[in-house]
């Protein structure tokens, strides 16, 4: 499994995710209760970056049409999201948040 650096841990705060492009994919990195999560960042409904939406209590609301996703699992909880988000394994290595592109999806 190869790990790719996304950002430093200091760039992610509770309710303030990091958004970045990693190997051509938009990725959002979130911190919830001390644990990091990485999700695909483009809303599957239309084009909006979820990390620019409202984040609270482990959920992110799309800034465009208000679909809501569970940050821990990527599950679409309600709204027009259409499907669950791809979630990527995360590790912290020397203060760097790294992901790997083996998606963990929730049915």
Binding mask 32-71 for ligand FES (x = CB under 6 A): -----------x-xx-x-------------x-xx-x----
Of residues 30 and 98, the one with the C-beta less far from ligand FES: 30
Of residues 31 and 60, the one with the C-beta less far from ligand FES: 60
Query: For residue 93, with 0-12 CB atoms within 10 Å meaning exposed, 13-18 middle and 19 or more buried, which class applies?
Result: exposed
Transcribe 19-60 into DSSP letters: EEEETTEEEEEEEETTEEEEEE-B-SSSS-BGGGSEEETTEE
Q: Tell the smallest beta-carbon distance from residue 54 to ligand FES (Å).
A: 12
Question: 22, 85, 23, 94: which is closest to 59 by C-alpha?
Answer: 85
Q: Which of residues 3-32 bind ligand FES (CB under 6 A)?
A: none
Count residues near ligand FES (CB under 6 A). Answer: 11
DSSP state for residue 79 in the 8-state scheme: S
Contact residues for ligand FES, defined by CB under 6 A: 43, 45-46, 48, 62, 64-65, 67, 79-81
């Amino acid at each position: 499994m190869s790990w790719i650096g996304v950002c430093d841990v200091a760039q992610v705060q509770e309710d303030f995710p990091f958004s970045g492009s990693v190997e051509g994919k938009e990725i959002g990195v979130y911190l919830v209760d001390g644990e990091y999560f990485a999700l695909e960042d483009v809303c599957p409904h239309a084009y909006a970056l979820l990390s620019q939406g409202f984040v609270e209590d482990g959920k992110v609301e799309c800034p465009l049409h208000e679909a809501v996703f569970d940050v821990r699992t990527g599950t679409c909880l309600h709204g027009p999201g259409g499907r669950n988000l791809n979630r990527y394994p995360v590790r912290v290595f020397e203060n760097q948040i790294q992901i790997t592109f083996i998606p963990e999806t929730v049915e």
